[in-house]
Amino acid sequence: MACPLIPDSSEIDISPDEWSRIESGEIVVRIIRESDQVSRAQAVGYLGLHPLWLFDLATDSELAPEIVDKVRQVDIHEQGPEGKVATGHIKAARLLPTMRYTFASRYLGSSTGQCWGQISGDFSRNEGAHSFLWDPARQQTLGVFSFTIGMKGLLGLLPERIILQGAADMLPSFMRSLEAIQPRIAREDPGRARRVDEAWARIRPRLEAGEFPGRVWTGYVPIPKAALAQSSDPQRELKETR
């Protein structure tokens, strides 16, 4: 399964201007070219929930149509603590048919990130990652959401920049929707809220003690280009354990 890197705190290449905007509360969206063939949309911004709430909501397939209006439904085929296999049904535009794709997702053992990649379906490429980095100083989570998509058939004739920009434009809305839906979910299911917050109480000291390297945001440091290229190995395993 193609599953993109879940960026940790040492692998986020942000300019000083972008960081200033993020600190002020903006979700910064950009298009990053990884190679001549592949570019990805990425959004980076602070969210007012701790990482485990964001992870719990982002991995809940039943909530996907509420959080992303273009998602019609998600059918689960396999699911476990390390990830799932599912089929998504997407209505990207009114005049387009519903598109389907089967994907596999993988979860970090710290429950602070996930990635997914298409196994089969109506896209030539559909993969992405969510990274939830706890910032102890702000008591907030720095969310890093990445997405790469490619189209088949006649839609594949559309310029890549148009497809990617459409994906990029959806990311801030998705991130804010996670924040917006949490109060209702917690109110309607207090047992779930208790489990998520209790799990956070257990994992937070382990994160802040450095037990899961790179999963805590300790402050902005510009990344030298050479170091970034060396760290971004697509073959890196998800090596965390619970």
Residue whose pair of structure tokens reads 């970034």 in the numeric block? 228
Is residue 239 helix, strand or coil?
A: coil
148 part of a folded domain: yes
Domain assignment of residue 165, given as a range: 27-217
8 part of a folded domain: no
231 part of a folded domain: no
Which element (helix H / strand E) includes 128?
strand 123-135
Tens digit of each residue's pLDDT (9 = 90 or more) over 72-104:
888 899 999 999 999 989 776 665 678 888 899
Say how many domains are in the chain: 1
Tens digit of each residue's pLDDT (9 = 90 or more) over 122-166:
777 788 999 999 999 999 999 999 988 765 654 554 556 666 666
* C-alpha separations of 41 from 15, 48, 160, 191 in Å: 16, 22, 11, 36
Residue whose pair of structure tokens reads 């048919």 in the numeric block? 97
37 part of a folded domain: yes
**169: CATH:** 3.30.530.20
Contact 111, 51 (CB under 8 A): yes
